[in-house]
Amino acid sequence: MIRLARDRTAVPPAFTGKGRVANEKKLCDQLPTSEFTFDDGVWKKAKAQLSAESRDKCAYCESPTKVVAHGDVEHFRPKSKYWWLAYCLDNYSYSCQVCNQVHKSDEFPVGKKKLAAPKQPVAGSLAPDPVDATAVADFATRCAAEKPKFLDPYAEEVESYFAWRADDVLKEVEMLPRAKSGAKRTRALATIDGLGLNREELRKVRYETFAPVALLASLHGKLGAADQATLLDALADLLDDAMPYAAMKRWFVREQWKLPVP
């Protein structure tokens, strides 16, 4: 899991201005129901942009999504519990179907009081306009006040929460909390468990990516200066945001093996 950033210059028209108001009207028109019918055609309009922001990888497990399956537009705060955020762009991420549907689903544990639904729901006021910096900042503050247990790659430096352990016998790489105690450890564990980030298939495929990086790294001390520089450049390419399992590889290269790769 790596830090992601929303491209506020490429917001789909459906989520700003009149488009946003029209979407929210679909929700307000159903009140006072507690059983909302959602239009998945709305969030599908965000899918291409979310995929680009996530480099065509799952925002959570960093697996490529376009090779074997289409990714999902995932509601970080589940629409079943936060109906007014069903069409909120700032509540979306790009996720693989396993993280989203099999594991996270409608779960969203919080440590403090859950965000309350608007007392007077009016179309245009349910969620922030993604190009309104003040509204977005206010929304982020209110979301953080919930003290969510799951980490949001759009909101936090998520890499700082995790460490990794390779098993050369089982040929697996396990995701671990970096902190030994405290809130950071609790949230890391909640995210790992809640999103299934140590499922067997994922541990195995991580190792397949880890092994060649480990081999390259093992050669560093055996080379002359010029070849070392070439090797470090090659490693830097493998740590790029666009590469699968970038957070894992960065941790081993920079933290475990202490190689000078930016």
How many domains are there within the chain? Answer: 2
Residue 34 clears pLDDT 90, i.e. is over it: no
- Residue 150 counted as domain residue: no
What share of residues in the chain are helix, strand, coil (percent, to 5)? 45, 10, 45
The mean pLDDT of 206-229, rounded to a whole number, is: 97
The answer on 135 and 47 residing in a single domain is yes
The answer on 30 and 128 residing in a single domain is yes
Residue 66 clears pLDDT 90, i.e. is over it: no
Mean pLDDT computed over every residue of the chain: 96
The mean pLDDT of 4-21, rounded to a whole number, is: 96
Query: The whole model's pTM is what?
Result: 0.94
What lies within 8 Å, CB to CB, of 44 at 6+ separation is: 73
If pLDDT is split at 50, 70 and 90, which confidence band does 69 have?
Answer: confident
- Counting residues of the chain whose pLDDT is more than 90, the rounded percentage is 97
- Specify the 3-state DSSP secondary structure of 229: helix
DSSP collapsed to 3 states, 123-149? CCCCCCCCCCHHHHHHHHHHHHHCCEC
**Which residue type is seen at 83?**
W
The answer on 249 and 131 residing in a single domain is no
Predicted local confidence at residue 68, as pLDDT: 66
Tell me which of 145, 178, 197 is where a domain ends. Answer: 145
Predicted local confidence at residue 70, as pLDDT: 77
The mean pLDDT of 209-231, rounded to a whole number, is: 96
The mean pLDDT of 224-235, rounded to a whole number, is: 97
Instruction: Return d(Cα 62, Cα 6) in angstroms, integer.
Output: 17
Predicted local confidence at residue 80, as pLDDT: 95
